[in-house]
Amino acid sequence: MKNLRLKAARAAMDLSQQELADLVGVSRQTISAIEKGDYNPTIRLCAAICRALGKTLDELFWED
């Protein structure tokens, strides 16, 4: 399932996939794969993304 909340949060901070990838120390393709729902990140990477975007895990990754 696509993670549109992550994409929206990234766009709200005016960050490109590459910029977010650099902030969390992964490749751009990994950010792209998470946004497309092709890859389930570990809690460590989820936390790093949340810190970079100033969001909580619930806000970005919790599915109702």
Smallest gap from residue 64 Cβ to another protein (A): 25
Site residues for another protein, window 15-54 (CB under 8 A)? 16-18, 25-30, 32-33, 35, 39, 41-42, 44-45
Question: How many residues make contact with another protein (CB under 8 A)?
Answer: 17
In whole angstroms, give the CA distance from residue 63 to residue 6: 12
In whole angstroms, give the CA distance from residue 17 to residue 15: 7
In whole angstroms, give the CA distance from residue 40 to residue 34: 6
Closest to another protein by CB, 29 vs 56, is 29
Asked if 48 contacts 55 with a C-beta cutoff of 8 angstroms, the reply is no
- Kindly list the residues in this chain that would bind another protein in the complex (CB under 8 A): 16-18, 25-30, 32-33, 35, 39, 41-42, 44-45
